[in-house]
């Protein structure tokens, strides 16, 4: 039988800062010694712990994950809490660039009509497990949504990629080698997708609807600029001690203008 101390030693040897904690999780996950050996080998090779385990802890939940799918970070819990605080039972909410749908999962008991969209089919497989009550859409940003939602969305929430292209090589190898670059690469300044979201959001938002975008403190001025350039009112910035940062844009469009934007 493989003991906890040997697993810990193997993890520590490859530089794991939390070797004892990781060892405990791997030992608890494995049903047999053979399975534990396989899990340990994957982790020692550099695969993220979360994909080795098949789940990630997020706001007291275990969300399903998979190899090759973006792993939600703890800082995104702020985005989920902010979305929850802005959501009423009658609202239409869309989690854009949803990945495994951590925000949609948190909103599952809100009573809202929750949608989630992503370009990655493997991510949407995980999203279906994590947010079974959400309606899932495969496609590129708002182009994935049904036309019936034009002018009706109360909350759009997005953890879109915001790492500048030239900084990806400096990311931890678990991310740069095992997560899709599509989920990391925000373009030269890190806000290409933020700008697209901001430009397209006013057409889809209901009067007074909000766009919530996770960003970094470095990219924050550019994200706020994208919201303002799109005609959204940048009402606030929400941040916390673990690095979470959310830019909030509010639709200033009048109800009549929303109707006019819809085709006859």
As a whole number, mean pLDDT of residues 3-9 equals 88
DSSP code of 73? P
CA 144 centroid distance within chain: 17
Q: What is the pTM of this model?
A: 0.91
As a whole number, mean pLDDT of residues 131-158 equals 98
Order of all β-strands in the sheet with 113-118: 135-138, 113-118, 92-96, 153-158, 205-214, 245-250, 233-239
Q: CA-based Rg of the chain, rounded to a whole angstrom?
A: 20
Q: What is the pLDDT of residues 179-200, one digit of tens each?
A: 999 999 999 999 999 999 999 9
**pLDDT number for residue 241:** 87
CATH class for the domain made up of 76-261: alpha beta
Domain boundaries, the chain: 4-64, 76-261
**pLDDT number for residue 200:** 97
**16 has pLDDT over 60:** yes
Q: What is the pLDDT of residues 190-229, one digit of tens each?
A: 999 999 999 999 999 999 999 999 999 999 999 999 999 9
Which helix H or strand E contains 62, and what residues bound it? strand 61-64
- Distance between CA atoms of residues 51 and 43, nearest Å: 9
């Amino acid at each position: 039988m493989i003991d906890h101390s040997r697993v810990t030693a193997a993890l520590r040897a490859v530089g794991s800062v939390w070797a004892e904690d990781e060892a405990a999780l791997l030992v608890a996950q494995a049903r047999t010694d053979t399975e534990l050996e396989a899990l340990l080998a994957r982790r020692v090779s550099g695969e993220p712990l979360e994909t080795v385990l098949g789940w990630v802890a997020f706001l007291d939940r275990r969300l399903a994950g998979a190899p090759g799918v973006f792993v939600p970070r703890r800082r995104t819990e702020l985005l989920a809490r902010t979305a929850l605080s802005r959501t009423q039972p009658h609202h239409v909410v869309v989690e854009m660039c949803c990945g495994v749908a951590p925000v949609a999962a948190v909103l599952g008991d809100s009573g809202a009509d929750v949608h989630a969209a992503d370009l990655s089919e493997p991510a949407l497989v995980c999203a279906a497990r994590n947010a079974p009550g959400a309606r899932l859409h495969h496609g590129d940003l708002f182009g994935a949504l049904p036309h019936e939602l034009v002018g009706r969305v109360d909350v759009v929430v997005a953890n879109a990629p915001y790492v500048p292209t030239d900084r990806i090589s400096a990311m931890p190898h678990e991310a740069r080698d095992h997560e899709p670059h599509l989920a990391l690469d925000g373009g030269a300044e890190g806000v290409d997708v933020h700008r697209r979201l901001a430009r397209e959001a006013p057409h889809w938002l209901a009067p007074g609807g909000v766009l919530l975008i996770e960003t970094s403190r470095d990219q924050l001025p550019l994200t706020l600029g994208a919201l303002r350039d799109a005609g959204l009112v940048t009402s606030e910035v929400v941040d916390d001690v673990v690095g979470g940062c959310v830019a909030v844009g509010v639709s200033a469009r009048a109800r009549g203008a929303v109707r006019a934007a819809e085709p006859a």
